[in-house]
Amino acid sequence: MYKLLMVIGLLTFSISSFSQKVKIKDEIATVDGTPTLKVVTASAFDNTITISGLNSTQDEIFATYLDYEDPNKVSASNPEGKVRWIELNFLTIGVKCEISSQGKKGLVKFIVNNKLYVDGVLNEENVNVVVQKYGMRFSENRPNAGVTVIINN
């Protein structure tokens, strides 16, 4: 029993010591104590976030939280059947992609882990890799995606 508790304790310690510590204060995201990005939410009730490098004078990433209801996704943990995702619009490059929904800290981790910023500058090559990898799968898989319904009276 003692050995089992020691193994669980060591695993917990090793997982927590390797995870990134993200804090967002005064619109500055720090990762492991190092200021990394500017993260600005329009208002407390808005579903958009703008992200840029610390030295950037313009918004570089516009993140929009989106959702729709899908009756096929109804479950005990999701009674409304909501499908949630984030659309990332890379403003200075002119490309977009969609990723699974996560909080601001999770979004910062996603950006850091995918090396979207290299030396504080948005890296177009890495952005294009992410765009190719994730695409627009939520919009494409949405029921009635791309179908226009015309009602004639």
- pLDDT category at 17 given cuts 50, 70, 90 is very low
Q: How far apart are CA 18 and CA 16, in angstroms?
A: 6
Q: Which residue has the higher pLDDT, 106 or 46?
A: 106
Q: What's the pTM value of the predicted model, to 2 decimals?
A: 0.78
Report the greatest alpha carbon distance in the chain. 75
pLDDT at 8: 67
- Closest by CA position to 64, among listed 93, 85, 82, 43: 85
